[in-house]
Structure 1
Amino acid sequence: MNKLLEVKDLNISFHTFAGEVQAIRGVNFDLYEGETLAIVGESGSGKSVTTKSIMQLLSANSEIKSGEILFNDRDIVKAPEKEMQKIRGKDISMIFQDPMTSLNPTMTIGNQIMEPLLKHRKLNKTEAKHRAIELLNLVGIPKPQLRIKQYPHQFSGGMRQRVVIAIALACAPKVLIADEPTTALDVTIQGQILDLMKDLQKRIETSIIFITHDLGVVANVADRVAVMYGGKIIEVGTVDEIFYNPQHPYTWGLISSMPSLDTTEEELYVIPGTPPDLLHPPKGDAFAPRNPYAMKIDLEEEPPMLKVSDTHYAATWLLHPNAPKVDPPLAVKERWNKFQKQVGSLNGGK
């Protein structure tokens, strides 16, 4: 597969009254043609900030301190705003968390879908309207000829999310960023949206960056997974490597805390402690204060990305040849096995 997007040593800070928040600290990842890369982690780990920087949609008090974002071998960190306006919506599109706030309540659904087609594809209004109807039909909106004249408040939450997907896919972008697109939806609609995205990805051959804190979603949609913590990617690998052979204690904690249908409140695992204060980033491994397997070196020196396989890397000193042998907690394997059975039953045993 060809490499489509490459993020190199990205560092982003927010300037606040309290001081400089080092939100993103040396993030590196690649995205290949036709793949889905999931970025997972707790709230505040840096998932959304990382991907918004790709679109150059960061807030006014933010600053990309250093690093590169290479798209088609061009560093778009240095791209002027006029060039980014040509890229946004055409080559790189984004689906945001809340479809109601993403849509303009004063514009019809049809005009909102037509807007990128008129701007980037240079279609006339008749052609753009015809294409908008096709897109609504493509994302499963019934009676698109009627719906195109309606406003966002006349759609349900799931339907609004389908409209947002139609807008994002209007120009067949090379990269689609989905920022927790199913968070506000119930489980049934969530499954429909995920199936829709997988189907559309095959049709238009786009690459997807899928941001989520829900590992169950990751198992269903991703090819590769990047785990973020404290503004860094601390483990990356194929979806099977991350779930069946996780190496970082934080990843163990995430998998252990996945709920299943037979989980009781008393059984649900919770990672102890709180995320690090990025106003004053820790000296060593940011996860060390919450890590029951932390060693002295974790408090003194930040671990590098150590190789597990050609596709699997993790930033933990436990992978060092001189580290003691530590096996993942039994809860990790039990939780994943329960989840697999749950998925199988929901899919009719397939």
Structure 2
Amino acid sequence: MMIELKQRLRAIEQRLAKEALGSFRANTSRVLRFLEEHKLFRQSLALFSDEARGFWRWYDFNVPLRGGVWWEPAPHLSPLAEALHEYERFGVILTNRTHSRLFMVYLGEIEEAQEAFAAAEVKHIKTPARDQLRSQPTNQRHAERHALWHLKNVSDKMDRLAAQYAFDRLVLAGPPEVTSELRRLLPKRLRSRVIGLLNLPVTAGQPQVLEATMSIEREIETAGKREMITDLVTAAAKQNHAALGLADTLQALQEGRVWHLIYAEGFAAAGRSCPNCASLFADQHESCDYCGAALQPVEDLIEPMAERVLSAGGMVERVRSSVDQQLQAAGGIGAFLRF
């Protein structure tokens, strides 16, 4: 990682004006020093440095982000924006008949949203053996009523939390007979968000709950991305508000028509940009087709393309290698269009 980072930093430095070199080198030194001193990070790391203004922030994430190095007047946030769009917020109810725990899962992180609440326990009173035999059915009925009350209470609690946390999906975890009953009790607006049932003990640790939930998320994402790519390829073939391949996608972007840019993981394409009108080109034009200005080289067109789509209120989505074969075969990039 360090070798590739230093190569990218050198490439940026070679393009800078002489007066910008001092500031760039100061920030570069700080970033490299930080990485030498801190070795343990999760899947992704975002660093923001502005030595002149005393600004320094770093964040690590438990999900993969699109990588890159940028030297710009403002923080480069498009990889973070893509992740916010890509990952959904999951609510998880882990329950049995007497005890519940409520979680939120987002961006590979888990948070226990609220302490569990338990239904009142059925108290057993010492009685003669004959009376105990007669009381067993009564105790069983009491336990069943308390269990039903508990699950209704869980349902009501989750209904309120749904408004508070605005989760996209809901997972029910616990013994199968309990999760099935809870699903039946949920309000329709919550029942429609249930996308999986997990057989877990109510005492399960957060790592176990997180991994089980992420497994469901990966399955949903894989199915959804495959369907999305099929729709994109079909729509582009019918010329129905879709573009495929770099040339057609760039043309649609130039016309302001792209609202959902989709590209395969690992896709990269060098090109050129116009410093005057910001037009982008995939080939080695010397001058802009639209204003005639001399063009500048761009190492990876995905960056300016994503920035333009996001600034226009659109979406940018990366498709992981496990499901991007159909998109790769169609050029590795495409878009759904506004008109």
**Greater C-alpha radius of gyration:** 2
Q: Give your verdict on TM over 0.5.
A: no
Structure number having the greater helix percentage: 2
Q: TM-score, normalised by structure 1?
A: 0.27
Q: TM-score, normalised by structure 2?
A: 0.27
- RCO higher in 1 or 2 (8 Å CA, sep ≥ 6)? 1
